[in-house]
A and B are shown apart, each in its own frame.
Chain A
Amino acid sequence: MSSYESDEMMSVEAARQLREVTACFVGIGLPSTGANLARRTVNPDLVLVYEAGAIGAKPPRLPLSIGDGMLGETADYIASVPEIFNYWVQPGRIEVGFLGAAQLDRFANINTTVVGDYANPKVRLPGAGGAPEIAASCGEVIVIVRQSPRAFVERVDFITSVGHGDGPGARERLGLRGKGPTKVITDLGILEPDPESRELVLTHVHPGVSAEQAQEATGWDLKLADELKTTEPPTQEELKALRELVAA
């Protein structure tokens, strides 16, 4: 087995989640890496949807921005921005939304707006973008984020995008039609919401990572699944595809 970085394990595992998926709404950064890797490995027919309007984009390399020229030039179709949200996201036409996060809490609520007080922020982040409606209306959401106590907090300072709200029944009460976050893929392992409490529990650790390491990188008392599994390490093929994608 060849050596690899923890970020590479995260991108490879993110890509594997898209094996059976028709269409994926792609945020920029780590989600874009995972989704583009899926097209090059487990699912060549995967339809990548970007919020600037490209549907079925086939970028030859990783775009720096969600409206990069190569996304439009390789797309099956380009929608206007009102159309992408009203006709494509809102009715639940997109199976999976791939999102990043600056902060994430135990119910997988996402903050990309501010750290600290809104009116007097410690750190002002970029804001919502397309994420709130992706999180509300895509069939399910997969969050890709590096795990650290700074990012994995007991309570997010601002709910930009709703995960499982305050727990059981929250999404139904809010009228959110998608299932919400079903997996959180990190550089240490995978977290999934408990079917009863909706609280994120650690279900997988990546090879060489201990459950304690994952717990130490979490700002709440992270529970472990009854049967904690170890993720399959990246194959040579996956690593080669990922490195080619990143270097392209």
Chain B
Amino acid sequence: MTDAVADLVRDGDTVALEGFTHLIPVAAGQELIRQRKRDLTLVRMTPDIVYDQLIGAGCARKLIFSWGGNPGVGSLHRFRAAVQAGELEIEEHSHAGMANRYAAAASGLPFAVLRGYNGTSLPDHTDTIKPITCPFTGEQLTAVPALDLDVGIIHAQRADRQGNVQLWGQTGVQKETVLGARRSIVTVEEIVDELDDKPYSVVLPRWVVTRVCEVPGGAKPSYAQDYYDRDNDAYKAWDATSRDEAEFDKWLEAL
């Protein structure tokens, strides 16, 4: 993983780390911090504690997102402090808008169309939300541009020895993150001889994945279905670390 991050992520890149509560690539995110990556445009629908860590560590220039919080706990204090101090540029969407931006990237299209945002304040502050008229019915819809991803990073349950990746359970926008990015890194719980059937499984064939790395526990404190549960206490404990800048600096020092 150290080599994959060093080889594939450059300062100034646009990088998405995805995983909707489940299979969040936390270990890979912390590797970005250790390697002191800078000026990144970070993309993620639900920036949670690993994005709070990346922002607090000074890796991000800009954040593209749709919901920034510590789920079930409260605020992300490093994120909040950076926004309130004007140190972090933000580009804010809804989940539907972000999901469609990923889908457009994976589809090789310049933009996606959805029925959304009308009447909200989001288009007043986000210039990647534009009205568009349906050429067939005349209906007023909304266009959002494809995400322009240099690197997509996800965590999966496993891969086989050829590098075919398999993930299952709630798989969010992970398929789109890999297919929509120029380069991709997938960390996995384990590498196995052969993949077998799993419920709601997504398989990413080896030739669309740039690098696969075996990182057991790489999604902790989030969860990996059939491997380990979400560590809710760690999410609660992060609140105190993140709230106090000195505590956060101590955490960063120890990473």
Q: A: which residues have CB within 8 A of B?
A: 28-29, 51-54, 63-69, 71-73, 78, 80-82, 84-86, 89-90, 113, 118-121, 124, 126-133, 136-137, 158-162, 165, 170-171, 174-177
Q: B: which residues have CB within 8 A of A?
A: 20-22, 45-46, 65-69, 71-73, 75, 79-80, 83-84, 86, 92-96, 99-100, 102-103, 114-122, 125, 139-140, 169-173, 175-176, 199-200, 202, 223, 225, 229-230, 232, 235
- Do the beta carbons of A118 and B125 come within 8 Å of each other? yes
- Do the beta carbons of A67 and B170 come within 8 Å of each other? yes
A218 CB to closest chain B CB (Å) equals 22
Q: 26 interchain pairs (CB within 8 A)? A: A52-B172, A53-B172, A64-B71, A64-B230, A65-B21, A65-B72, A67-B71, A78-B200, A80-B172, A82-B176, A84-B99, A85-B100, A86-B96, A86-B99, A120-B86, A121-B83, A121-B84, A127-B92, A128-B93, A128-B94, A128-B95, A162-B119, A162-B120, A170-B119, A174-B118, A176-B118
Kindly name the residue among A78, A124, A126, A175 whose own CB sees the greatest number of chain B CB atoms within 10 A: A126
Q: Contacting A52 at CB < 8 Å: which of B22, B176, B232?
A: B22
Instruction: Give the A-B pair count, Cβ closer than 8 A.
Output: 169
- Do the beta carbons of B83 and A124 come within 8 Å of each other? yes
- In the complex, the chain B residue whose C-beta lies closest to that of A32 is B72
Chain A neighbourhood of B118, CB < 8 A:
136, 162, 174-176
Chain B neighbourhood of A67, CB < 8 A:
20-22, 71, 170, 172
- Do the beta carbons of A69 and B84 come within 8 Å of each other? no
Chain A neighbourhood of B20, CB < 8 A:
52-53, 67, 81
- Do the beta carbons of B68 and A127 come within 8 Å of each other? yes
Main secondary structure of the interface of A (DSSP, over half): loop
Chain A neighbourhood of B95, CB < 8 A:
51, 81, 85, 128-130, 133
Chain A neighbourhood of B202, CB < 8 A:
80
- Do the beta carbons of A54 and B170 come within 8 Å of each other? yes
A148 CB to closest chain B CB (Å) equals 18
- In the complex, the chain B residue whose C-beta lies closest to that of A166 is B119
Kindly name the residue among A121, A129, A132 whose own CB sees the greatest number of chain B CB atoms within 10 A: A132
- Beyond A64-B73, A90-B96, A90-B116, 14 extra complex contacts between A and B, CB < 8 Å: A52-B21, A67-B170, A72-B200, A86-B96, A86-B114, A118-B121, A124-B79, A124-B80, A128-B120, A129-B66, A132-B94, A132-B96, A132-B117, A136-B119
